[in-house]
Structures are given as structure tokens and as C-alpha cells.
Chains A and B, each alone.
Chain A
């Protein structure tokens, strides 16, 4: 007990409970030897267990033992509690989902009936059905709270746990997903919200439910309404007579109805009460409904044909509406939205950051303008009017910033610049297998600050040199210019944030290149283009800078024939559909199309052409403004489009520490493949199981081959696009580019196994000896010798490496040998020991055998004796039987004699009887004597046997 107390005290600092017990124990021992007996063993056991667990904590190697103890305990538990087999725990009862301070009323027990009850008191109610385990519900919780904080005074927010199976909600509703958001406008509902679970979007929708109709009091607001990119429905109602003119309620309901069907809220509903305003849209009778269309004739709801019901109005508007620009908002579930839209033809995706709650969207207005112009084929007056209005809106809202609307300026400006320009011929080395490029490089120092002072009559040599440097750094931009048209592009000067260079490049034939004097001819057209371009840029600057981020001092470039894109959609056979995507939600798509993931301004434009399997992007360094967009569309539409298929490459090139296989990306493809050495290129993808399991083969190959003469490279084709001619159908694919003839690339045959020997054979088959490079007729002996020396050196290096490896192998072999030897000696020792054991066992065996023989002999002897005894016994038994029969005879004799004598001698009878009894007594005594004689030897034999056992 004292021991227990001591230990308990020792461990007291670890655990409060243990300390308490420990002091108790010591108290018990202090009380003397009269400690209570029954608590003793239990306390000791507990102490031991605790000790064990402590030991385990301190010395982990003992854990094994602890595990065994635990296992034993568990086994015991299993047997004792085997009745507890079907223990089923009910689900945890529901708890609060929203905090009690939240403006959202949380009915976490699913009291749907209560929700219905309180719903009657509010005009607009939002019901948020959630499941407490659902990640999406948890994520949406905060967003809902955010909305509730802003709208709590006008809208009732109720959250209902629709999962708990005891709750009313679960019993009445059957949802396939969570959360579900229902909105009610008085008795109308439910209107389900299916949009993005972001606070701004939800708030916008709630506000739309609160006010489904837009009241239009003035002409300007009417134009606002009509010029919007989304289709609008107008109703004309005269409120003068009755408080609620006939048909108004139906119109109102149809607006709610459209929200129910179309969660994007693309159909807008407006109300005109002014007769004069109504005339502008040719509405005369109160109660008439008008659907505005930009390009086709606008419609008035045909009351004679269709019943004037809310549903019909909505349907009619939906069927006849005209989509100018469409928002794409994938809901996250499985959907064919993009598939269906992209199948319609080439699509222009515009990614803009969109706040649905914002009052005005200047960028969106510009895009609307572009869209209107693009589709305005028959130059309709209405559209012109709306365009005018849009521009006007621009200037009025941005009054302080914008002096002139851009379009007008484009016509009026007549400032001609003579920028300092220089003709650059792209060097030959990066124009392999293509025609040569000639670029006109101009320096522009125009800035937003002093646009009028741009005046560069002559330029210093330094400036031209800097521009050239900068140009070569940027040359990749011009890398793929192959068409005949002239493509201009601006890029930032590294010397001043406000100046930029313009390069207009065009392609010429080799033949032309020989005429060095022909530059004048070649650039006969460019000067016009350049000048027009210049003036455009100049005047555009002040207008476009204010509402682009300041970090984008680059200016739009405009194609040469920047006539206008009005009605372009009808003039081209590559008509674009325009789509908007909110870059706050769907920037991922932009990234997949080539936008940067880390950019500050999330604006991006790309044209996706699924049929051509290509896409084109608007240079991300250019701001997304109207002129750039127009030129982008134009460039796409012209017959020989200057746009180049955009190739996406992974930018994070992480060269592994063991730099053996070069990781190729889209950007480095040419550089690696065109190295002046043999290149083996593996096409792979992360996800392809067949590729990954061959990694080791390529690593081995790369380690074998000399890195200075041979490149083993690979490209992740899942993340890096390549020009068509270098794309492959299957992965893994291996291409070999011989060092001296890059155009003769060879493919590793697909039906042969990718193994190291096969790859080596493949390389040997197609690689070209370095010395014969160029296959010159008379190889200079010196060079040849040098090459050979290099080769030999390589070989020697290789052999040295091999020797190194072999040495390492030998050491491991030695280790293995040592291991085997130790195992062998162990085995020998074991064998020896076993043999010894065997010998001793044999000895024991022989001793035992001897013993058993002796025993057998003894046994036989005893059996013999027994048999003898049995025979004797038999004799004795026979004898006793004889005696018994004699005895019986005698008895009969005596009886007969008695019978006789009874009658004859009655007087003398007494004496005679005495003598007779004496005789029988003697006989019986003889009998017993015999019996004792027989039993004594048997007993002795039994004793003997006991001893042998």
C-alpha cells in the first residue's frame, strides 16, 4: 500500500485525478497497518495499469505491450458484452445553426408550420432550408447573414433545418440538395433562388422580388431601360382613374413569374404611367404591354390572340425576346450550358468583375455599345438613338473625367504624328520554317499627362536602342505573325511608365528580303495605318485612362481598317455570340483560356471556336475597353485573321532539384527542341496512368545519356498547348528530334513496349553521329578527331559512372553477403544445436526403449504368473464347488436322517443332534481357510503393478 501511495504521489503532477488518488493512498498508509483489505488489490491493479500507460508514454517501445493489454481487455469486453452487438446510436439532436444574435430566425427543429405562420405577417420572406451537415449550407450561411444584415428591416429571413427527421419540414418537403432558398412576395411563391450563393447576388434577387417592376418616369430613364443589354418588357398603365388600373396586377404577377422561372432575371419589367412616354414606344391604350427588340420590330402583347394572364405575358416575352449579350452563370451542377452555347458557333467570352448591386456598370455599357453596333446590320434608327443615348450616359456620368465621346473623336482628330520609327528585321534564328518578319518599331512618348506635347521630330539613338532591346525581349509576342496583314501591338517601355512602343509587323517572302532597299515599298500601306492608329491612340488616352486601372498604362491598338464594326455580324461568315461571365465567380474559366491567375484586374476577353478547336485571346496587357474590343472582333472577322490561336502553357516551371529531365512548356518548346543536339521528347499528362508508371524508365535513360550531348525532355500536354503539327493523339508518345535535322522528327512506334533497351535502340537507330553533321564531303580530320575525343571522353565518363555504380553494387553485395553469411552461420548454429538435440533425444529414446523392453519382459512374466494363478484359482474353485455339493448332499442326508431318526429315537435325539452340528462346523471352517489362501497372491500382484506404473 505504501508503494502505491508513493507512486501515486510521484505521478501527481501529471494529472489532477491521479494526484488526488495518490494523496488518498498515502493517507491510507499513514493510518497504519489496518488498511481496509478489500480495496487493496483493486487499487494495486489500477496502479499497475496507470504505471503501464505512463511507461508507454515515456518509453514508446513498450507500447506494443500496452497494445497487447488493450487487446486482451477488448477481447474480454467482447465476450462480456456480446449482447451489445447491435448498438445503434440515434443521430445527434439538432442544434442552432445560426447564432442567436443573427438577424436570421433559425428554426433548427424544422418547425415549418411556424414558418408558415409568421410568413403571413411580412410582405417579403426568404426561407433558407438547410441541412446541418451540408458543406454548401454551411458556406451559404455567412452570405445569407450578410444579406439579412442589410435587409432585415424589410424582409423576414427564416432558416429551417429541413433534415432532422422529427421535424415538420423533413416530413413535408423532399429536397434533393441543400440549401434551398425560397422567396415569397405576399402570397405569391415560392420563388426559388438558383443563382450563385453570394451575398450580392442573393441581395439583388431579393430586391427584385421586393420590386419586380421598374417605374419609368422620364424619357431618359426610358432610354436607359431600352438601351440595356437585357431584354425589357414595358407595361403602360394609367393610374389617373382608378387606384389600380385593370391588368396592372396581372402584369405585376407576370414580373414575379419571370423571376420564378428565370433566376438570372434577364427579363426586366418596367411600368410607364405617362401618356407621352408611352407614345414613344407606340403604346396608346392603358394596359398594353410592349416587348422591346433592337433589331427586329418590337412587339405589343397580342391580347386578341392570347389570354391576358401573368403566365402568358411571361411566356410571350420569353419566346420573343432578343438576346444581345448573355450572362453565363453555370450553377455548379452537371450542365450542358457551355456545350450548348459553344455549339452555336464562335463565342466571345467577356470576363468582367460584376457587382449586381452597383448603380452603373460603365464597362458593361461599353460592351453593350459594341454589341449593339456589331449586330446593327440595317442601321436602324432606334439603335442609333440608343447608341447615342449610351454615349451620352457615358459622358454625363463621367462628366468630370471624359471630355469627348470616343467615336466622335475618331472622326474629327486630324493631328498627325511623325513618331520616331525604325525598321527592324527579325533575326533569322527565330524564324525557322517560317517566312521572315519585318517590323516597324515606333517610339511613342505620349502620356496621359501631356498629350498635346507629343512632338518628337527626331529621336535619339539611345531611345531607339532601348526600344530595340525592349522589342527583342518581347519578340515572343510577334513570334507567330505569319499572315500577310499588318499586326500592330503596343508594349510597355521599361524606362518610363507612360511611354510605350508600337510595333507593326508584317511578313514578307524570302525573295523580297533580298532587296534591302525595298522597305519603302513594303511599308507603303503601313504609314497610313500607323498614322490613323496614332491619332486614335492619342485621343483615346484621356478617355480610356480614367476608368481603367491606373496600373494599365497601355493603350488599345486598333486594326488598320478601323472603319467601324457596325453591322459586322452580318458581313462576316464567322458571327460571334457575345457572353458575359462574372470574373468574381468564374475566373477559373479565364485562367483555363490563358488569363493570369494572379492578376489584379480581373478583366479578360477570349474568342472560343469549338469547331476550329482554337481560341484567341485579347492581349491581357491591354485594357478591356471598347476600342480594343472592337479591333479584337474585327481581327477575328477578317478573312485572313491576324489573330493567332492562343497556346496555353503552364507558367510555373519547377525544375526539379535532380535536374535530369528537362520539363518543357509551351514557351520553352522551341528552345528545347531546337537545341543543337539530339532531343528525345516525351508527351505525358499527370492523370494518365500509363505515363506515370514509366517515369523510372525515363529517369534511367536520362541518367545514362550524357546531358551535354543528349536532351531527354518531357512535356505535360494536359497543361501545355503546342502548335497543331506537334500535337499527338495518344499519351505517352515519344518523339525524337535528331540533332542536325530537326525537321526529321521520328515517333517511337506505339506497339512496342517502352523499355530502356527499346528506347536506346530507337535512339541509336535515328540519332546521327555528331561528326557527320552536315554530311560534308570532306570532313576535316582535325574536327573529326576532336569529335572523337569528345566522344571518347563521354564514354569514359559513362564508364566511370558505371564503375562507380558497380563499386556501390559491390558494397551492397558485400553487405548482402555478410547478411547471408550471418544468416548461414545462424543456420549452421541452429543445425548444430538441432543435431545435438537430436543426439540427446536419440539417447533418451534408446534408454526409453530399453526401459520399455524391460517393462515388457516384466509384463510378460507377470501375465504368466497371473495365468498360473488363474489356473490355480480355477482348481480351487472346482474344489470348493465339489465341497459345496458334498455339503449339500450331506445336508440332504442329514435331513433324511433326521426324518428317520425322529420317529425311531425320540429319547436319544438330543445327543445325536449335537454330534451332527459339530461335523458341519468343521467343514465350513475348511472352506474359509481355502478362500483366504486364494486371495493373498492376487493382492501382492496388484501391488507389484502399482509400483511399475
Chain B
């Protein structure tokens, strides 16, 4: 009833688009962007519209089929609050502060995790824990009254912690790798299958490390790291991981290796974890995988599926979920490869107006039973990252195409329906949670270069906490795999602040007094190079750990700094509008 009332008002004639704009493609797309932004929030009472969208998620009845890494079907009320949490920070990024505040209130009153529900550990983590954490960290920006200990405490953080604690029983396995499903009230069910997909094991470090840093309880980060180590040990001789593994025995059940469904966010979290935590170990793991992926799965800038032990091609398909890869590559500075792969994927989009779940590359067509496009965000996500890097109007063109597809194909009276079959654009009666949480968000961010999320460090907030002063909101947000942004500065604020503060104070005293005292000692310090480096290794908490990794990897990567991006080659200036350059021979 409410949904219909609200949506009746929101229906508006699709803004007539004059394509004959004589300006350049970029101008046309920029104009489009402005109109799009209005379109996504068409009414003055946008709040109701967004709520309408939320309700629409449930209107298409819950369908438990088809999602590759899919969750077990949860009761409707659980899924409802899940969607509410999931779409929360989208509201803020779209600039709707009042609605954000209201939903925060609703959540605090209504959400209860002490329910008898079998929930997917992976989904609960990325949507609920991730969504609550990002909402917690953004709540000050949204004008929510925060308590004194923020960002290291707060009601949403406590909710996230509560939700995460419900997941901890799943990690009690011999290998440290978690079960796929857990009952929120009773823990792991007795007859639970021990087979979990790779992504379901390696997709915790961003949320759990954030949680550990903010709350000070290391248990979350520890279990996440243990799970990652479990996977790292299980990789094949040629350095690949399969699709599903038995978490009790550590044996691979599905041995297809690739970068798509079932594996995707594992690689994503290795990189994002490395960025978020400035962690060399995670990065060295990723670089090893990256090498194997390039060697065995890459063909003409496509990434295929191979047998994880032999490296032989098992499925020459491109999956819609794989489209996150260019974005990930651009984060670590591999922009030319990213662009080449992106352009490949874009041709698929142009063929169908969306990305089919599976696309057979040699045949150039969809794969039987995998023709759907549930409005997934991955390609748009990559476009957003790449547009930040290159400013190539081709990427805005993808954005335009996505907006056209979403509006022309999937828009129904109330919400945006999943495309059931890309060949004829049949629609399914459902709208996925990630459409609001991710697709809309990334699309908006692609067209909005001045969004606070894109802050490059030119503005920031100085927040006084009981533990000292923190610099927050300085940009560099790390998105979890469900597009919930995490501010790396907040982690630093709650984790390091206390130890660091006094050290910094001592150094500052030296900075001022040194001028006199050092006159005598200067020669000495100059004589001993590396004098200041020795205390560094000792002081830094993770340094020991890092050194260990470095020792292991010493032979393979000497002199290549791990946590650095390579600077771009000269040809990158001209690598625009579809032009790509091969590595110079």
C-alpha cells in the first residue's frame, strides 16, 4: 500500500534526452550526468522515493534461486533490515542526510540479531557488518549526533560488533577457514556442510580489521587473518586457488581457478586490506596470485577459468562478476592492463545492454541458463575507478549506457527489476539489494567528481576524541565488496593513536630543541646512515611480521616496494578513447 502510494508519485516521464547535442562527447555526457543525478532522486521528497525503492526490494518476492555465491534464503524481516542497512550509506552519498538520520534511528530501534535465522556468513559480513561500519564512520558527516568516543565507539559500531560476534562460531574449524552458514542464535548447525567458496573465506579482513581497530578487540582481525592464511597455504603448486574448499579437511572441492564468481572478493580484499592496513604481507600474497593469474588465465586481456593444478583452460567464459578486476588493477597502478580488459568487457555490454552472468568468449554469445543481468555493479565500479585515473570519456560513455539500460530496460512502476534474460530483455520480479547499495552508488560517483568520497586530501575533519586528535575524512576511502566506504584514517585513529602520540611528542620536542643540541651530535648522526631506521623496525607493531614475510619473499622481490604503485609510462597520456599501448619491447 505504502509502496504504491509513494511510487505513484515518483513515476515521472523519463527526461527527454536530446542526443543531438553538438558539443563534444564529454560535454554531452556531463549534461547527461546532471540529468541523471536529478533522475536518480527526482522529487523534492526524495526520502519517500528512496524508501519506496527499499520496499520494492521485497515486492518482487524473495527468490532463492540462482545467485552463484548466493546466500541461504533468510526470513523476510531479516532480509528487510539487511537491505535497509545495505542501502544506508547510498543515501548519504546521494546527499540525502535527513533520510540517513531517520534510517539510523529506525535501525537502532528495530534491528535485533538474536534471532533464529541461518545466515550466510559472507553476506552478513559484507552487508550488515560492512554497512553498519560505514554508516557508523559516516554518521558524523551525516549530521548524526555522535557520542564522545566516536569514532571508536557508537551505537552502530556496537551493532556491527554484535553482528560480527554472531559470525565468530563459524570460524571454529581446524583450518581456521569459516563455514558458509551460521545460525545467528545457535551457532553452526550440526549438519552444516563444510564446503565453502573461496570468497566466503577470504572476504573478512576489511570489515574485521576495521572492527578490531575501532573496538580494540583483536579477535576479529585474528580470525580473518587466520582464514586468509588457511587459503594461502591451500593454494596449488602453480599458485592458484580453486572455487570451493572443504574447511575441515582443507581439500579443494571445486578446482576451477579464475577471478570471478566464488573467488572474486578474495583477491579484492587482499588488495584493499593491504591499502587499508598498509600491510605488506597481504600485498605480497596478492602479487603472487596476480603473477599466476596473468600467466595461466589471461588471454588477450580476457581472464578465463583454468584448472587450478594444471593450468589448463576449463571454461572460456567471462563472468559478469569478473568485471571488478580492472578497478582493482587501477588501484594498484596497473592502469594500462585495466583499461584493456575494461574495453573488452565494454564490448560485451554494447552487444546486450548489460553483462550476462556468463559470456562465452569464443562463441561471442551468452551461455545457456546464465543470460541474466541482475543490474550488477562491477563494471560500473571499474569505470568509476578508471575514470578517476584516466579521465577517459569512454568510461562516462559506459555510465551513460548503464543509465540508459537501467531506465529503458529494467525500470518498472516500482523500482528497477532484474533482467532475467539479456537476449530479449525479459524481466524478473525482483530487485537485488546490491542495486541500491552498489550500482546506484557507483553510477552516481562516476558522474559526480566532487563527491566527498573522491576527496583527494584537500579537505579533512579534525575530530577530538578522548584518545587524542584524529584527522578523518581525508579521502582514500576503501570500499568493501558491497560498496561500503571505510575511512582508513579512522582505523589509524583508534588503533595507533595512543601509542603514537607520545612518540610524536618526543620527536617534536627534539625538532625544536635539536637545533641546539644537535650541533654537537650532527656529525655523528650524519656519519651513521640508517641510524634512525633501526628504531623504526622495532617500534612498528607490524614490522616484525612484515620482516618475516620479507624474508620469505626475499629472493623473488628485492627492491620492488610492495605498497607502491608504479608511475605511468609516457604513452599513458595518449591512452584514451579506446587507444591502448603495448609494453615497449
Q: In the complex, what distance in Å separates the CA atom of A592 from the CA atom of B458?
A: 24
Query: What are the residues of chain B within 8 A of A69 when measuring CB–CB?
Result: 1-2
The answer to whether B106 touches A765, judged by C-beta atoms less than 8 angstroms apart, is no
The answer to whether A696 touches B565, judged by C-beta atoms less than 8 angstroms apart, is no
The answer to whether B468 touches A78, judged by C-beta atoms less than 8 angstroms apart, is no
The answer to whether A332 touches B19, judged by C-beta atoms less than 8 angstroms apart, is no
Q: In the complex, what distance in Å separates the CA atom of A175 from the CA atom of B469?
A: 60
Q: In the complex, what distance in Å separates the CA atom of A685 from the CA atom of B515?
A: 34
Q: Which of A57-87 contact B (CB under 8 A)?
A: 60-61, 63-64, 66-71, 73-75, 77-78, 81-82, 84-87
**A827 within 8 A of partner (CB):** no
**B561 within 8 A of partner (CB):** yes
Q: Which residue of B lies closest to A731 (CB)?
A: B565
Known contacts A165-B423, A689-B476, A704-B504; is-contact A613 B570 (Cβ 8 Å): yes
Could you tell me the distance in whole angstroms from the C-beta of B178 to the nearest C-beta in chain A? Answer: 26
- Contact indicator per residue, chain B 21-64, by CB within 8 Å of chain A (1) or not (0): 10010101000000000000000000100010001001111110
Could you tell me the distance in whole angstroms from the C-beta of A605 to the nearest C-beta in chain B? Answer: 15
**A658 within 8 A of partner (CB):** yes
Stretch from B165-173, B291-299, B389-397 contacting the other chain: B389-397
Stretch from B89-97, B115-123, B207-215, B271-279 contacting the other chain: B271-279
The answer to whether B511 touches A760, judged by C-beta atoms less than 8 angstroms apart, is yes
The answer to whether A608 touches B574, judged by C-beta atoms less than 8 angstroms apart, is yes
- Contact indicator per residue, chain B 339-353, by CB within 8 Å of chain A (1) or not (0): 010011001001101
Could you tell me the distance in whole angstroms from the C-beta of B528 to the nearest C-beta in chain A? Answer: 10
Query: Which range holds the interface residue count of chain A?
Result: 35 or more
Could you tell me the distance in whole angstroms from the C-beta of A144 to the nearest C-beta in chain B? Answer: 10
Q: Which residue of B lies closest to A611 (CB)?
A: B584
The 7 closest A-B pairs by CB, nearest first: A142-B20, A692-B476, A687-B389, A695-B457, A656-B458, A795-B512, A696-B489
Query: What are the residues of chain A within 8 A of B500 when measuring CB–CB?
Result: 755-757
Q: In the complex, what distance in Å separates the CA atom of A610 from the CA atom of B582?
A: 12
Query: What are the residues of chain A within 8 A of B429 when measuring CB–CB?
Result: 84-89
Stretch from A5-13, A126-134, A563-571 contacting the other chain: A126-134
The answer to whether B533 touches A752, judged by C-beta atoms less than 8 angstroms apart, is yes
Could you tell me the distance in whole angstroms from the C-beta of B436 to the nearest C-beta in chain A? Answer: 15
Stretch from A206-214, A334-342, A420-428, A860-868 contacting the other chain: A334-342
User: Which of A141, A142, A339, A752 is close to B580, meaning CB atoms less than 8 Å apart?
Assistant: A339
Known contacts A87-B429, A133-B425, A696-B471; is-contact A610 B571 (Cβ 8 Å): yes
21 A/B residue pairs, CB under 8 Å, sorted by A? A67-B55, A70-B55, A74-B3, A133-B404, A141-B19, A176-B350, A178-B350, A330-B578, A332-B577, A333-B578, A334-B578, A342-B571, A687-B390, A692-B456, A699-B460, A731-B566, A731-B567, A752-B536, A761-B507, A771-B515, A794-B512
Q: In the complex, what distance in Å separates the CA atom of A142 from the CA atom of B28?
A: 13
- Contact indicator per residue, chain A 685-721, by CB within 8 Å of chain B (1) or not (0): 1111111111111111001110000000010111000
**B579 within 8 A of partner (CB):** yes
The answer to whether B540 touches A335, judged by C-beta atoms less than 8 angstroms apart, is no
Residues of chain B touching chain A, judged by Cβ–Cβ distance below 8 Å, are 1-3, 5, 17-21, 24, 26, 28, 47, 51, 55, 58-63, 76-77, 80, 98, 102, 105-106, 109-110, 147-149, 271-272, 275-276, 278, 330-333, 335, 340, 343-344, 347, 350-351, 353, 364, 385, 388-390, 393-394, 397, 400-401, 403-405, 408-409, 412, 417, 420, 423-429, 456-460, 462, 464-466, 468-469, 471-472, 474-478, 488-489, 492, 496, 500, 503-505, 507-516, 518-519, 522, 525, 531-533, 535-537, 539-540, 542-543, 546, 550, 561, 563-571, 573-574, 576-582, 584
Q: Which of A497-519 contact B (CB under 8 A)?
A: none
The answer to whether B388 touches A687, judged by C-beta atoms less than 8 angstroms apart, is yes
Give the interface centre of B3, B426, B567 by most chain A CB atoms within 10 Å.
B567
User: Which of A133, A140, A757, A765 is close to B408, meaning CB atoms less than 8 Å apart?
Assistant: A133
Query: What are the residues of chain B within 8 A of A336 when measuring CB–CB?
Result: 579-582
**A27 within 8 A of partner (CB):** no
Query: What are the residues of chain B within 8 A of A661 when measuring CB–CB?
Result: 457
The answer to whether B393 touches A770, judged by C-beta atoms less than 8 angstroms apart, is no
User: Which of A131, A338, A693, A731 is close to B564, meaning CB atoms less than 8 Å apart?
Assistant: A731
The answer to whether A695 touches B489, judged by C-beta atoms less than 8 angstroms apart, is yes
The answer to whether A67 touches B106, judged by C-beta atoms less than 8 angstroms apart, is yes
The answer to whether B566 touches A729, judged by C-beta atoms less than 8 angstroms apart, is yes
Query: What are the residues of chain A within 8 A of B512 when measuring CB–CB?
Result: 791-792, 794-795, 798
Query: What are the residues of chain B within 8 A of A60 when measuring CB–CB?
Result: 47, 98, 102
The answer to whether B469 touches A176, judged by C-beta atoms less than 8 angstroms apart, is no
The answer to whether A131 touches B504, judged by C-beta atoms less than 8 angstroms apart, is no
The answer to whether B3 touches A70, judged by C-beta atoms less than 8 angstroms apart, is yes
**A589 within 8 A of partner (CB):** yes
Q: In the complex, what distance in Å separates the CA atom of A86 from the CA atom of B331?
A: 40
Query: What are the residues of chain A within 8 A of B333 when measuring CB–CB?
Result: 685, 687-688, 731
The answer to whether B532 touches A765, judged by C-beta atoms less than 8 angstroms apart, is yes
The answer to whether B76 touches A78, judged by C-beta atoms less than 8 angstroms apart, is yes
The answer to whether B2 touches A750, judged by C-beta atoms less than 8 angstroms apart, is no
Query: What are the residues of chain A within 8 A of B507 when measuring CB–CB?
Result: 757, 760-761, 764
Query: What are the residues of chain B within 8 A of A813 when measuring CB–CB?
Result: 148, 466
The answer to whether B513 touches A795, judged by C-beta atoms less than 8 angstroms apart, is yes
Give the interface centre of A75, A760, A798 by most chain B CB atoms within 10 Å.
A760
Known contacts A49-B1, A88-B429, A337-B579; is-contact A690 B567 (Cβ 8 Å): no
- Contact indicator per residue, chain A 21-47, by CB within 8 Å of chain B (1) or not (0): 000000000000000000000000000
Q: In the complex, what distance in Å separates the CA atom of A795 from the CA atom of B409?
A: 65
**A139 within 8 A of partner (CB):** yes
Query: What are the residues of chain B within 8 A of A667 when measuring CB–CB?
Result: none
Query: What are the residues of chain A within 8 A of B475 when measuring CB–CB?
Result: 692, 695
Known contacts A63-B102, A695-B457; is-contact A146 B20 (Cβ 8 Å): yes
Residues of chain A touching chain B, judged by Cβ–Cβ distance below 8 Å, are 49, 53, 60-61, 63-64, 66-71, 73-75, 77-78, 81-82, 84-91, 131-136, 138-143, 145-146, 165, 175-178, 330-339, 342, 586-589, 592-593, 608, 610, 613-615, 648, 654, 656-658, 661, 663, 683, 685-700, 703-705, 714, 716-718, 727-733, 749-758, 760-765, 769-772, 787-788, 791-792, 794-795, 798, 802, 805, 808-809, 811-813, 815-816, 818-819
Q: In the complex, what distance in Å separates the CA atom of A648 from the CA atom of B412?
A: 48
User: Which of B272, B428, B503, B581 is close to A88, meaning CB atoms less than 8 Å apart?
Assistant: B428
Q: Which residue of B lies closest to A705 (CB)?
A: B511
Known contacts A339-B582, A729-B567, A809-B469; is-contact A64 B109 (Cβ 8 Å): yes
The answer to whether B350 touches A134, judged by C-beta atoms less than 8 angstroms apart, is yes
The answer to whether A685 touches B567, judged by C-beta atoms less than 8 angstroms apart, is yes
Known contacts A693-B278, A792-B512; is-contact A133 B61 (Cβ 8 Å): no
Query: What are the residues of chain B within 8 A of A764 when measuring CB–CB?
Result: 507, 510-511, 514, 532
The answer to whether B275 touches A689, judged by C-beta atoms less than 8 angstroms apart, is yes
User: Which of B353, B516, B535 is close to A134, meaning CB atoms less than 8 Å apart?
Assistant: B353
Q: In the complex, what distance in Å separates the CA atom of A49 from the CA atom of B2?
A: 9
Query: What are the residues of chain A within 8 A of B536 when measuring CB–CB?
Result: 752-753, 757-758, 761
Q: Which residue of B lies closest to A178 (CB)?
A: B350
Q: Which residue of A lies closest to B576 (CB)?
A: A588
Known contacts A49-B1, A82-B61; is-contact A91 B424 (Cβ 8 Å): yes
Q: In the complex, what distance in Å separates the CA atom of A928 from the CA atom of B258?
A: 95
Known contacts A89-B429, A334-B578, A687-B385; is-contact A74 B105 (Cβ 8 Å): no
Query: What are the residues of chain B within 8 A of A91 when measuring CB–CB?
Result: 409, 424-427
The answer to whether B344 touches A334, judged by C-beta atoms less than 8 angstroms apart, is yes
Give the interface centre of A61, A68, A145, A332 by most chain B CB atoms within 10 Å.
A332
Query: What are the residues of chain B within 8 A of A809 when measuring CB–CB?
Result: 464-466, 468-469
Q: In the complex, what distance in Å separates the CA atom of A728 from the CA atom of B565?
A: 11
Q: In the complex, what distance in Å separates the CA atom of A663 from the CA atom of B532?
A: 28
Q: In the complex, what distance in Å separates the CA atom of A805 from the CA atom of B477?
A: 26
Q: In the complex, what distance in Å separates the CA atom of A695 from the CA atom of B465?
A: 19
Q: In the complex, what distance in Å separates the CA atom of A802 from the CA atom of B506?
A: 12
Query: What are the residues of chain A within 8 A of B18 when measuring CB–CB?
Result: 142
Give the interface centre of B28, B347, B504 by most chain A CB atoms within 10 Å.
B504
Q: Which residue of A lies closest to B55 (CB)?
A: A70
Query: What are the residues of chain B within 8 A of A815 when measuring CB–CB?
Result: 148
